[in-house]
């Protein structure tokens, strides 16, 4: 089945991951949402970096084909410890990280709590500060597995919905329909309030200011899942940061602007 790769043990979790190439370590970290995994987020991008880097694409604890454990508290501390555990299991002392949305938040956590393990950061559509829960995030929590529901949810993510192919919908639906998958996801993201607005909280400016790693912030101007103001907050708070805002682009920068995204990230990593 697409998405199942190698296995290692990290933070007590049987962990699924993919690997390609040689060189300095580069992690590609996936976002959250129904049916998400490292493979669905990054399978088309791995080859763009594996000529120069050792590319590692893990499924973060509780997501994809990595174990979800009932009774375990899933929070940023666990996810950072899980990431450190993956690095230790693969004998990687220091790496660069490209984090998509939730994966960007995990990368930020690592850069704040274990800065000695981080070389460079690339943060795509990453939440930060406080913002009102968007239709995309609300829909991810409320989603009930079906092909129609998956298509409707995915249409909130890119600017150009022609990117949403029947094959992509099918793959994400099948992953989301695994027993316990949606129940697990609901424990990992904020439950929408019954009435009024739900506030989503990411790392505040004070924590972001502690990041010492060179950071490239990438956001889609039309992102309806994580507002562009989050990217601006990160870029204004991290001491050594640049911001690139893609026009006519939603939440899937790596899929919506693949050529320009790869060129930008390769140039940044090679500096």
Question: Which of the four pLDDT bands, split at 50, 70 and 90, describes residue 190?
Answer: confident
Of 50-59, 168-177, 225-234, minimum mean pLDDT range: 168-177
Of 48-52, 99-103, 181-185, 201-205, minimum mean pLDDT range: 181-185
State the pLDDT at residue 207.
Answer: 98
Determine, yes or no, domain membership for 178.
no
Backbone angles phi, psi at 122, to 5 degrees: -125, 120
Backbone angles phi, psi at 56, to 5 degrees: -125, 125
**Of residues 223, 237, 244, 255, which has the active-site annotation?**
223
Determine, yes or no, domain membership for 164.
no
State the pLDDT at residue 236.
Answer: 98
pLDDT tens for 144-169 read 999 999 999 999 999 999 999 999 99
Determine, yes or no, domain membership for 187.
no
How many CB atoms within 10 Å of residue 139?
A: 20
Residue 81 has pLDDT above 90, yes or no: yes
Q: Count Cβ neighbours within 10 Å for each residue of 16-41 and write b for 16 or more, e otherwise.
A: bbbeebeeebbbbbbbbbbbbbbbbb
The parent domain of residue 11 ranges over 6-132+202-270
Q: How many domains is the chain built from?
A: 1
Residue 104 has pLDDT above 90, yes or no: yes
Is 223 catalytic? The answer is yes
Question: What number of residues does the chain have?
Answer: 271
Question: Which of the four pLDDT bands, split at 50, 70 and 90, describes residue 184?
Answer: confident
Determine, yes or no, domain membership for 146.
no
* Average predicted confidence (pLDDT) for the chain: 95
Determine, yes or no, domain membership for 215.
yes
Is 101 catalytic? The answer is yes
- The pTM of the full predicted model, rounded to 2 decimals, is 0.96
User: C-alpha angle with apex 79: 137 to 90, nearest 5 degrees?
Assistant: 130
The enclosing domain of 228 has a CATH number of: 3.40.50.1820
pLDDT cut 70: percent of the chain above it: 100
Determine, yes or no, domain membership for 52.
yes
Q: Record the tokens describing residue 213, joined without a space.
A: 């790693």
State the pLDDT at residue 181.
Answer: 87
Determine, yes or no, domain membership for 31.
yes
Which has the closest alpha carbon to 23: 5, 42, 45, 49?
49
Is 32 catalytic? The answer is no
**Of residues 96, 101, 176, 255, which has the active-site annotation?**
101
State the pLDDT at residue 188.
Answer: 78
Rounded Cα distance, 164 and 218, in Å = 21
Determine, yes or no, domain membership for 1.
no
Which has the closest alpha carbon to 66: 48, 83, 42?
83
């Amino acid at each position: 089945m697409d998405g199942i790769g190698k296995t290692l043990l990290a933070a007590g979790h049987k962990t699924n991951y993919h690997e390609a190439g040689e060189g300095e370590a580069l992690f590609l970290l996936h976002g959250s949402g129904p049916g998400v995994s490292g493979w669905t987020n990054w399978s088309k991008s791995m080859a763009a970096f594996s000529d120069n880097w050792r590319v590692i694409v893990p499924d973060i604890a509780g997501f994809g084909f990595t174990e979800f454990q009932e009774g375990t508290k899933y929070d940023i501390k666990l996810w950072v410890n899980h990431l450190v555990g993956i690095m230790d299991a693969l004998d990687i002392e220091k790496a660069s990280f490209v984090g998509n949305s939730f994966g960007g938040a995990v990368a930020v956590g690592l850069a704040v709590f274990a800065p000695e393990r981080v070389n460079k950061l690339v943060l795509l559509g990453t939440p930060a500060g406080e913002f009102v829960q968007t239709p995309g995030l609300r829909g991810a929590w409320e989603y009930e597995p079906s092909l129609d529901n998956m298509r409707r949810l995915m249409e909130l993510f890119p600017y150009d919905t022609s990117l949403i192919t029947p094959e992509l919908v099918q793959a994400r639906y099948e992953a989301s329909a695994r027993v316990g998958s949606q129940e697990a996801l609901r424990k990992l993201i904020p439950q929408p309030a019954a009435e009024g607005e739900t506030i989503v909280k990411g790392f505040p400016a004070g924590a972001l200011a502690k990041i010492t790693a060179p950071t490239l912030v990438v956001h889609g101007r039309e992102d309806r899942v994580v507002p562009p103001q989050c990217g601006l907050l990160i870029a204004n708070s991290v001491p050594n940061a640049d911001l690139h805002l893609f026009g006519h682009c939603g939440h899937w920068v790596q899929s919506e602007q693949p050529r320009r995204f790869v060129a930008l990230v390769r140039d940044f990593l090679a500096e």
